[in-house]
Amino acid sequence: MIDWSKVAGLVLVAIHLAVIVRAVLFDKRDSDARAAWVVLLIALPVAGVILYLIFGEPWISKAFREHARQAEQDLVPFAPDPSPKARLDGLTGNAFRTFEAAAGWPTATGNKAILAPDSDAAIEMLVADIDAARHVVHLSFYIWLKDHNGTKVVEAVCRAARRGVTCRIAADAVGSRGLIRSVHWPAMRKAGAQLCSLLETPLGLGFLVGHRADLRNHRKIAVIDGRIAYCGSQNCADPAFLPKRTFAPWVDILARFEGPVARQADIIFAASWTLETGEDMHAAMQADPPRPLPDGIAAIASGVGPLSPRGTMTDMFVAVLAAAQTGMTITTPYFAPDPPLIGAIMAAARRGVAVRIVFPHRNDNRIVGAISRAYYPMLAKAGVRIFEYRGGLLHAKTIVVDDRLALIGSSNMDRRSLELNFENNILLESAALATQLRERQERWLADATEIDREEATSRPLPRRFVDNLLTIIAAPF
């Protein structure tokens, strides 16, 4: 007589061993993450297998990958060929070339950019540009709330669509769930806007659409008439951010760009739109790209995600950090770096660069907040100055290097931004704008507390154990 309990036990053991082997063989992760998964699978056989099947690999079906790759390849030829070509020298040039390799187009010269004074002013600027739009409005947000600012943008889109402007409006299916299920979403459709809910997963079953259920489009893109583009950390929401009001105000940054870089941002939007809707965007890209503006700056927009070569976002961060010679200030709300990124930050401090990192004091994601603090000791030992902002949740993702080079966009320094989410960023070289951005960082620093180096490095044994455990946990996720 067959002992089915033994058979079931053997099957479970076989599954457990197969998953361990798979975790070892999977080569699209660093060795630290591989080791962490193996430890987790051995220590927690059942839970470890379940976690690995859900989070272990950024799995995306072959059909989804090829569709996305084709959408990007078809649109890259529409990127402007800047004239004159940007001069890329030294370490700064290396940073731009790294972005060019990721984006697939050259750095654009002749751009102008301004920083919005604050989050409310940013929405006012965006609404004014939508109201002035004559041809096309493209918007894509990870989080779009049905609050004051969110509704103002909805109303602007409705006005534009009614006067005949082509409006393509996209929002992440999870991050903007509330708006998509509200009366505002059909109101935009009724006004004539085309709508897309990004990366939907019916019933939470990602395999039905060919990708992980937690794969998200984290981008924040706005392009008006193909000549104005917005890029930064700000979602379409009030600073009060009602879903997580206890952490408010949310402190963000948004920059408004004019010039050829706007076409690059438009292509990033168009590729996602084509992937999700199937619309052929060739006709939408036929208009002449913006001409370089006199005395404009060099800038390049890039869109990265799980379809990019492994380590692409890390390479981009590292290239910017490697360009630093005297000083560098970083702001990021979520910090769970991979080894090359944490190594680049510490290497900059060790070679004499004055490195400052500003984190939020209170983080809406307690686990990531704890993981961030677990890295304080190694950062402090390398000479990095660490600050915690107390004026709300500092959500801005910025890097300013030597008051000359600046990076602004949607990417955090955590594993989701580095390996899983669709993100967009703009790298620029401008002494004037980099100085303005650093001055904004100085305002945040004025409302921040510096972490004492001795306190960060002299931890009691239990704290060291927990911190080191958190850095291990961060690796596979």
pLDDT of residue 23: 84
pLDDT digits (tens, 9 = 90+) for 344-357: 999 999 999 999 99
pLDDT of residue 47: 86
Domains parsed from the chain with CATH numbers: 4-55 (no CATH), 62-92+110-297 (3.30.870.10), 312-474 (3.30.870.10)
Q: pLDDT band for position 41 (50/70/90)?
A: confident
CA gap 276, 199 in Å, rounded? 7
pLDDT digits (tens, 9 = 90+) for 174-231: 999 999 999 999 999 999 999 999 999 876 666 667 777 788 999 999 999 999 999 9
- C-beta of residue 311 within 8 angstroms of C-beta of residue 417: no
Q: Mean pLDDT, the chain, as a whole number?
A: 91
- Has this prediction a pTM greater than 0.85? yes
Compute the average pLDDT of residues 36-44: 85
pLDDT digits (tens, 9 = 90+) for 66-106: 888 898 889 999 998 766 666 777 789 999 999 999 999 99
For 454-460, the CB contacts below 8 A with 24+ separation are: 456/376, 456/377, 456/379, 456/380, 456/386, 457/377, 457/380, 457/381, 459/377
Closest Cα partner for 19 from 6, 96, 44? 44
DSSP codes of every residue in 93-118: HHHHHHHHHHHSSPPEEEEEEEE-SS
Closest Cα partner for 355 from 342, 363, 346? 346
- C-beta of residue 411 within 8 angstroms of C-beta of residue 417: yes
The region that residue 232 occupies, defined by phi over 0 for left and psi between -120 and 50 for alpha, beta otherwise, is left
pLDDT of residue 52: 83
Phi/psi at 82 (5° precision) = -65, 145
Percent helix, strand, coil in the chain, to 5, is 50, 20, 30
Q: For residue 133, how many other CB atoms are within 10 A of its CB?
A: 22
pLDDT of residue 207: 67
Closest Cα partner for 17 from 36, 59, 45? 45
pLDDT of 1 strictly over 70: no
H-helix or E-strand spanning residue 139: strand 136-141
| CA pseudo-torsion sign 462, 467, 469, 473 | positive
CA gap 119, 125 in Å, rounded? 10
Compute the average pLDDT of residues 404-426: 95
Tell me if residue 398 falls in helix, strand or coil. strand
CA gap 332, 327 in Å, rounded? 17
State the chain's maximal CA–CA distance in angstroms.
86
pLDDT of residue 88: 75
Angle at alpha carbon of residue 68, lines to 315 and 406, rounded to 5°? 30
Q: pLDDT band for position 475 (50/70/90)?
A: low
CA gap 449, 472 in Å, rounded? 27
pLDDT of 124 strictly over 90: yes
pLDDT of residue 8: 74
Query: Looking at per-residue confidence, does 63 or 475 come out higher?
Result: 63
pLDDT digits (tens, 9 = 90+) for 267-317: 999 999 999 999 999 998 988 899 999 999 999 999 999 889 989 999 999
- C-beta of residue 239 within 8 angstroms of C-beta of residue 120: yes
pLDDT of residue 476: 61
- C-beta of residue 320 within 8 angstroms of C-beta of residue 327: no
Q: For residue 2, how many other CB atoms are within 10 A of its CB?
A: 6
DSSP 77: G
